[in-house]
Chains A and B, each alone.
Chain A
């Protein structure tokens, strides 16, 4: 650019700068006012409303109900419980069918087929490791997700989520957090990584960080199969069959609500310490209710979300299955690596009301929480050393019934305390690696990623420790 032009642009910018001092801070306001008055005029000419009152009434009635003082909160919990209950009840049978197909039937067939042309360890590694872990994840994950996601999406499409945010805003405001955190939390119930990305709707950096750090307290789909299973074994099994499902769902809702409470408490703590500040503006547009197209929604959420999440689980389950098989079959001094680690970490696990197996399982499951239960089962059999159960060392298997699973847990030295603490620890531990990476990408900061990773883990350890010790104190 030549000298002359540069001078001209400099002059232009200088004029603008000077004029800014003259027009002052009101510029933006005046402009918005002009735009809106034009908008009003144009809209006035083009939009006619016939008898709005009558038609809007329905929406207003629903709104009055779902945000009402008496019914707002109970309705919310009821809906949450209903979603879980439908999931628990509906997933039971298909899960069992999938398990008998993929594990009981296909697994031996594939194993025999592999053995016919490859050495024992190759067949073990591929079929007992990789294939079985994948089969297990499909059997456990697919049915609940195929129910949970569509039901949840129906609520989302109807327009219920913003009302949840509206109802809960008062709590979030007191915790120094943003009202839209309720929305990102809801997204976290599907997947924490998605929840973390969704925090972009929060425009205050401080409150967005709080939302990111606390998103992990939303039980994600990788964790609630664990919750459901443990709840049914340690709580539901003690009850008559017809109410077991309801009570198990209740226990899961309890943990989910505990997660919400903790996220409020932690938000409050953060607002008072490292992310000091007051809650900023909250403006949320409440969209009109839009009756969802039920079949279309069911179809797309099944295809888009369920298959997508399942795929991710499988991708992580296969290498994890291989790793477990190896750790159970590679021997050092006559004992497998897994057993070495478990006997080393067991005392610490017991101190926390858990055990070495669970700790190892949580390390193996860092990439994906979905594989915690299969890993735990397999490792328990391995260390409890029961020859009749399980098809061999390092094999992840599905068991016919929950009572058989309970049997294994009992042999592994599990008590009711172990079950409860596993549920707590499943809620309170580090986010999965995908989520951690997402947090890093979104915040661009190592510091916040570390805090978001370590904080829930420490909380989990502390909570489990004190629960365990108090339990022992009073149980004895």
Chain B
């Protein structure tokens, strides 16, 4: 080649252009593909879900509330609602919208897909928890109920989604969960989080950022009109009552279930011994099971043995075998320090 400089520049331009076009998610191709997807069906199904939500929470639904939910104008919302009505999924009476039986099962099907997918993401993928909901919002419109059923079968027919919501059964029944809002607990009460509301996103992100998750043990330390102070897995947190209403808890009745030691396994030094007390509920699915398969169950003795170069992972001696664990997991195993 006569002039390498020109080739270099040309090569650079070509590579950049190809990247700009093909780059996953942010490339032109990806953007074009996203914009080309079926937005009509989505609007219909989202509206239907909204009507279902109203019914579930015993509120009443109108075209205006649909418009609000879909972030669109009244005309569009009216169009959507008329279409749903002509499909026999909802009926209207006196401006208010009601589900037909068929509409209810349709909505439950969407919810089943949504929650199953969240469960899949939480237990079988490594997608961040703040993204579970938004990913499921997309998948619920594309996955068929048959696909969802076979996914459920593969995952061992899970009962609740990672936020604690019950997953509608294959027969489209929706079991009740019970529980009370966090701000209904009294000072000194000990409960377990059974549900974290994932909407609005901003509040959910805040709860997640505080490290809260489903299955966590909550101990109310103090309760005032403007804030609730509580210990979650041994760490103190403060929440405004309005935010606390997004958390549902169940009081722990069985005293033996109450954990009082939240020393993380990662805090043990080489040579120290700990007794496993429990595994945080934040560790889910297959990863949790694998740990138990390896002998990390309450009562097991565990001793750090080898620390790798960067201090992570660490190999622990447990039930006669040596097992390496990453810190993000040894943080989630609670032990009582012994000897």
Interface residues of chain A, those whose CB is within 8 Å of chain B, are: 17, 20-21, 24-25, 28-29, 32-33, 36-37, 39-40, 43, 60, 63-64, 67-69, 72-73, 165-167, 169-170, 173, 176, 179, 203-207, 273-274, 276-286, 288, 350-351, 462, 465-466, 468-470, 472-473, 476
Contact = CB atoms under 8 A, between A and B. Distances in A.
Interface in B290-339: 290-295, 297-300, 305-310, 312-313, 315, 319-326, 328-329
B308 A206 contact: no
A213 to B, nearest CB: 13
Nearest to A32: B292
A68 B309 CA distance: 6
Contacts of B128: 277-278
Interface stretch (B3-11, B79-87, B205-213): B3-11
B153 interface: no
B312 A473 contact: no
Contacts of B38: none
Interface string B124-138: 111110000000000
Given A21-B159, A466-B11, A283 B126 contact: no
A61 to B, nearest CB: 11
A203 B124 CA distance: 9
A285 B294 contact: yes
Contact of A281 (B5, B8, B11, B291): B291
A473 B319 contact: no
A33 B299 CA distance: 8
Given A28-B289, A67-B309, A286-B306, 11 more contacts: A20-B159, A33-B299, A43-B320, A64-B306, A167-B308, A169-B313, A273-B23, A284-B324, A465-B11, A466-B11, A473-B5
Contacts of B124: 204-205
B166 to A, nearest CB: 9
A21 B158 CA distance: 10
A167 B309 contact: yes
Contacts of A284: 313, 323-324
A414 B74 CA distance: 73
Interface in B126-167: 126-128, 159-160
A273 B293 CA distance: 32
A207 B309 contact: no
B72 interface: no
Nearest to A73: B309
A40 B126 CA distance: 34
A281 B25 contact: no
Given A283-B290, A283-B294, A476-B4, A170 B309 contact: yes
A351 B313 contact: no
A280 to B, nearest CB: 5
Contacts of A25: 159-160, 215
Contacts of A206: 125-126
Contacts of B125: 204-206, 277
Given A63-B306, A283-B291, A473 B4 contact: yes
A33 B159 CA distance: 22
B65 interface: no
Contacts of A24: 159
Contacts of A466: 8, 11
A20 B310 CA distance: 43
Nearest to B128: A278
B252 to A, nearest CB: 12
Contacts of A40: 319
8 contacts: A32-B297, A33-B297, A72-B309, A277-B128, A278-B127, A285-B294, A286-B324, A351-B7
A37 B329 CA distance: 23
Nearest to A284: B324
B188 interface: no
Number of chain B interface residues as a range:
35 or more
A165 B315 CA distance: 12
A286 B322 contact: yes
A206 B15 CA distance: 27
A86 B326 CA distance: 35
Most buried by B among A277, A280, A283: A283
Contacts, number: 149
Top 6 closest pairs, chain A to chain B, by CB: A277-B126, A281-B287, A472-B4, A170-B310, A273-B24, A473-B4
Contacts of A282: 313, 324-326, 329
B307 to A, nearest CB: 8
Nearest to A288: B322
A273 B287 contact: no
A290 B269 CA distance: 27
B297 A281 contact: no
A274 B126 contact: no
Contact of A36 (B8, B290, B319): B319
B230 to A, nearest CB: 22
B323 A283 contact: yes
B290 A166 contact: no
Contacts of A165: 324
Contact of B306 (A166, A468, A470): A166
A93 B295 CA distance: 52
B92 interface: no
A169 B326 contact: yes
A21 B175 contact: yes
B36 interface: no
Contacts of B160: 25
A170 B313 contact: yes
Contacts of A280: 126, 287
Nearest to B295: A36
Interface string B1-21: 100110110010001000000
A132 B118 CA distance: 59
B275 interface: no
Contacts of A28: 289, 292
A279 B126 contact: yes
Nearest to A176: B126
Contacts of A288: 322
B313 A469 contact: no
Nearest to A18: B175
Contact of B313 (A72, A166, A273, A350): A166
Given A29-B297, A179-B324, A274 B24 contact: yes
Contacts of A207: 126
Q: Which of A17, A36, A281, A476 has the most CB of B within 10 A?
A: A281
Given A67-B308, A166-B313, A17 B169 contact: yes
Given A29-B292, A281-B290, A283-B291, A470 B4 contact: yes
Nearest to B311: A170
